[in-house]
């Protein structure tokens, strides 16, 4: 396993799903993890589970769309666990709709969280990393950023921005010892997926779950821990030669359909 011994990592949206899997995986590799999230219940449960593992984690309530909230969370988190060496921009929200059906409020909400949220954490954390001599940034993009998905207009737009921000940060920070990459998952089986099915398909939930699973040629959705293992590698010194790259984790979705 790649080693993150004694490094401090911020994981936004770390209270559940992929974020929690990354938090647990990073801690198992020796990191101290700061979970930034708005869900206090889920985040405190994640911290408690990590502490029971014998790991070090803390929760800071944070609205990534609000730069003042991000700054306060970073300052409090660093005071508790130490200087941040790794930033994982995982927090994000989904939306279903086309350019015709997406209203302005929904579009703005997606941009505030998924795009401005990443900008805010970068704007606050990068100067600290650079001053400390370097660090690693990992952004959660999506296959939606690099292929056409029906009814995902705003979401795809936001992930396209995250995708290109990854390359911009990698280029701008190349000589400052900060690496920046992104992961592009296809569908991942998280509590969000379960909630979506329960809400929209209560009468044929299992049928729709199978349909969503089979959208990936491999025949299933990804597991959060599979994304987390790649995240661990990319944030470790094992990946020291890798920057400005995107990594699809898609069960063959992009090339084998």
Among 45, 84, 42, 50, which residue's Cα sits nearest to residue 195? 42
- The torsion angle over the Cα atoms of residues 108, 158, 179 and 60, rounded to 10 degrees, is 50
When pLDDT is cut at 50, 70 and 90, the band that residue 120 belongs to is very high
Among 162, 153, 74, 163, which residue's Cα sits nearest to residue 121? 74
Name the burial class of residue 180, with classes exposed (0-12), middle (13-18) and buried (19+) by CB atoms within 10 angstroms of its CB.
buried
Q: Which ranges of 111-223 would DSSP assign to H, the alpha helix?
A: 117-132, 153-172, 191-200, 205-214
Q: Are 249 and 230 in contact (CB under 8 A)?
A: yes
Q: Is the pTM of this model over 0.85?
A: yes
With b for 16 or more beta-carbon neighbours within 10 A and e for fewer, the 191-206 pattern comes to eebeeebeeeeeeeee
DSSP code, position 134: -
* Helices and strands in the chain: count of H runs, count of E runs: 9, 7
For residue 196, pLDDT over 90 is answered with: no
Up-side HSE of residue 147: CA atoms within 13 Å toward CB?
13
Q: What percent of the chain has pLDDT over 90?
A: 96
CA 138 remoteness from chain centre: 8
When pLDDT is cut at 50, 70 and 90, the band that residue 200 belongs to is confident
Among 205, 95, 202, 91, which residue's Cα sits nearest to residue 150? 95
Catalytic center residues: 155
pLDDT of residue 192: 86
For 166, 167, 190, the CA distances from 224, given in Å and listed in that order, are: 21, 24, 7
Among 160, 140, 149, 143, which residue's Cα sits nearest to residue 97? 149
pLDDT of residue 62: 98
Bridge partners, 178 (sequence order): 135
For residue 177, pLDDT over 90 is answered with: yes
From CA 57, how far away is CA 43, in angstroms rounded? 10
From CA 89, how far away is CA 240, in angstroms rounded? 19
Domains, the chain, in order of start with CATH, read: 8-186+223-248 (3.40.50.720), 188-221 (no CATH)
From CA 16, how far away is CA 192, in angstroms rounded? 9
pLDDT tens digits, residue range 208-232?
999 999 999 999 999 999 999 999 9
For residue 115, pLDDT over 90 is answered with: yes
DSSP code, position 14: T
């Amino acid at each position: 396993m790649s080693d993150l011994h004694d490094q401090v990592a911020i994981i936004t949206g770390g209270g559940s799903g992929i974020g929690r899997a990354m938090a647990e995986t990073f801690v198992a590799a020796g990191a101290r993890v700061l979970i930034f999230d708005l869900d206090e219940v889920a985040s405190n449960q994640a911290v408690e589970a990590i502490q029971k593992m014998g790991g070090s984690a803390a929760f800071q309530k944070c609205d990534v769309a609000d730069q003042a909230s991000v700054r306060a969370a970073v300052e409090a988190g660093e005071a508790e666990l130490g200087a941040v060496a790794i930033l994982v921009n995982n927090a994000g929200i989904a939306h279903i709709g086309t350019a015709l059906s997406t209203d302005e409020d929904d579009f703005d909400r997606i941009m505030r969280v998924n795009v401005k949220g990443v900008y805010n954490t970068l704007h606050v954390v990068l100067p600290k990393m650079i001053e400390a001599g370097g660090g690693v940034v990992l952004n959660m993009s999506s296959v939606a950023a690099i292929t056409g998905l029906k009814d995902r207009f705003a979401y795809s737009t936001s992930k396209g921005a995250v995708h290109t921000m990854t390359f911009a940060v990698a280029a701008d920070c190349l000589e400052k010892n900060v690496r920046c990459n992104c992961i592009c998952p296809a569908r991942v089986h998280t509590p969000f997926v379960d909630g979506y099915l329960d809400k929209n398909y209560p009468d044929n939930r299992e049928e729709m779950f199978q349909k969503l699973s089979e959208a990936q040629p491999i025949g299933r959705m990804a597991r959060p821990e599979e994304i987390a293992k790649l995240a661990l590698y990319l944030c470790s010194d094992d990946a020291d030669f890798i920057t400005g790259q995107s990594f699809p984790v898609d069960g063959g979705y992009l090339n084998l359909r």
